[in-house]
Structure 1
């Protein structure tokens, strides 16, 4: 399987788009997350939306779902849109009184945790996608929804994908979760996509780190002073480079050298590509990552074979 880096930036990146991957296997493509800048990133990669057959969503932040509305409208089968009340009646009869589906021939599968999939429509996509001329639309108008239950994997092109729930944000006493992916197949490397996640519970995810041969790791570089090698501050909702590297000032649980050696860092700030840190210091982040024992930082356009 090929893993193409479509985007590797954070929510505010204008250089590296939003973090996103395209998996390619057997002539099929699966997109992992679809942030606001991902449709443009796909064009940059030479991939048309119609060439994506499956989309996986990890959580409901705009830099991971903001491009879904554009994808939905671009792939909608406009020839099926009702143009009169008679047409509308036919649609109602077809969709509500006859077994079948409502989506068109180009509608990709949309895979997510079952609760997340419900929230995705009700709290995010519905605001723009339920306003169709002539009829009421639903998530099924544009996608083939595939809700995934807890502790149940899904399969794509012979690969098994386990959803790994992790902490992204603590909203008071409520967890804003994210679902990473552990991709495995007999005879191939096992890959772990952490998606957005804090570094507060590495003990809980250590088993998945150890199972993986390759780890695409959320990595925030804000508040990391590379001049003094000190961790000054962080957002608290992403794993910081200093935490992952085990700098003493980060005061965090340290990862083993074996785990760090498998980590490719992504979801970083634009200043990384400009060879600066957030304090204006010159910094070769790629060299720094090597010195700290990581496999490296990913870059847009790279491809990994597993």
Structure 2
């Protein structure tokens, strides 16, 4: 399993693209989230319009879905040909339909390739992956995702504080990406996770390694200092490539760059 990080930023981050990444295995590439500042990073890092097989949306705030229409238009301009699977909820698809309308894009007539909607399952399969999802505590429904293949597991929280269901989803994952807005909980934004709520995940949930993303602008230095207490926890970096081998070494994930 190969993880390619496109963005790690919060909604209005001036320095980093919105949080998004690509998970690949056996030639299949799944992109998770596509916020308003993600497309330029995607086009730069993955120029092939046919490279992405499916898009998964954790939820539908602007920093997680507003990049969809520009991405599809660019792929049409670049003559993408193969179908694209979009995995989201029933309510999420209705929100995406409004984006198409606002962008004057008819997904059935304006694109050079078909879109295939797949309703987000609690448990299912997608390409080579066994897929599991669970709700987090967020201001709109957000489904964290767990992908398993080749005997390894990767989990991604989307936004929101952990719930018993999402903690069960993360348990035993070789690598967990979890949003972390601040070091300590922010009472003004109660639907985002804080480091103090996540720090024990490697030990308590048996998570091999954990990357934190969606960090508030101005908090990165404090959060990096807090993470230094546990070598299994660090801030996610844009452009980072991580490989989870089929038989993970005792030291955990292998960092390529």
Between the aligned partners of 1:241 and 1:109, the Cα distance in structure 2 is 34
TM-score (norm 2): 0.81
Which one of 203, 211, 214 corresponds to residue 257 of structure 1? Answer: 203
The unaligned stretches of length 5 or more in structure 2 are 245-257
In structure 2, do the counterparts of structure 1 residues 62 and 183 end up closer, same or farther at CA, with 3 Å as the change threshold?
A: same
Between the aligned partners of 1:295 and 1:62, the Cα distance in structure 2 is 27
Shift of 1:207: 1.6
- Helix, strand or coil for the counterpart of 1:22? strand
Higher normalized helix content (fraction of residues): 1
Which residue of structure 1 aligns with residue 248 of structure 2?
A: none
The unaligned stretches of length 5 or more in structure 1 are 80-103, 131-136, 170-175, 225-229, 246-253, 276-282
CA contact (8 A) 2:133 2:169 kept: no
Which residue of structure 2 aligns with residue 85 of structure 1?
A: none
Confirm whether residue 17 of structure 1 aligns to residue 5 of structure 2: no
In structure 2, do the counterparts of structure 1 residues 298 and 153 end up closer, same or farther at CA, with 3 Å as the change threshold?
A: same
In structure 2, do the counterparts of structure 1 residues 77 and 44 end up closer, same or farther at CA, with 3 Å as the change threshold?
A: closer
Which residue of structure 2 aligns with residue 213 of structure 1?
A: 174
Which residue of structure 2 aligns with residue 56 of structure 1?
A: 56
Between the aligned partners of 1:76 and 1:261, the Cα distance in structure 2 is 39
Q: Cα deviations across residues 62-102 of structure 1 (Å, max 9, x unaligned)?
A: 111111111121123799xxxxxxxxxxxxxxxxxxxxxxx
Shift of 1:140: 7.3
Between the aligned partners of 2:120 and 2:186, the Cα distance in structure 1 is 39
Q: Cα deviations across residues 240-269 of structure 1 (Å, max 9, x unaligned)?
A: 223323xxxxxxxx7573437632111112
TM-score (norm 1): 0.69
Which residue of structure 1 aligns with residue 129 of structure 2?
A: 159
Between the aligned partners of 1:114 and 1:153, the Cα distance in structure 2 is 16
RMSD across aligned positions (CA): 2.8
Which residue of structure 1 aligns with residue 215 of structure 2?
A: 268
Shift of 1:115: 3.4
Alignment of 1:32-43 (within 5 A): 32-43=32-43
Between the aligned partners of 2:125 and 2:69, the Cα distance in structure 1 is 24
- Helix, strand or coil for the counterpart of 1:206? helix
Shift of 1:49: 3.8
Which one of 181, 192, 195 corresponds to residue 155 of structure 2? Answer: 192
Which one of 131, 146, 167 corresponds to residue 182 of structure 1? Answer: 146
Between the aligned partners of 1:262 and 1:69, the Cα distance in structure 2 is 33
Alignment of 1:215-230 (within 5 A): 215-221=176-182, 224=183
CA contact (8 A) 1:148 1:154 kept: no
Shift of 1:208: 1.6
- Helix, strand or coil for the counterpart of 2:136? strand
Which residue of structure 2 aligns with residue 237 of structure 1?
A: 191
Q: Which has the larger radius of gyration?
A: 1
Shift of 1:160: 1.2
Between the aligned partners of 1:106 and 1:56, the Cα distance in structure 2 is 17
Return 17-26 or 143-152, whichever deviates more. 143-152
Between the aligned partners of 2:95 and 2:46, the Cα distance in structure 1 is 31
Shift of 1:193: 0.7
Shift of 1:145: 2.3
Which residue of structure 1 aligns with residue 226 of structure 2?
A: 288
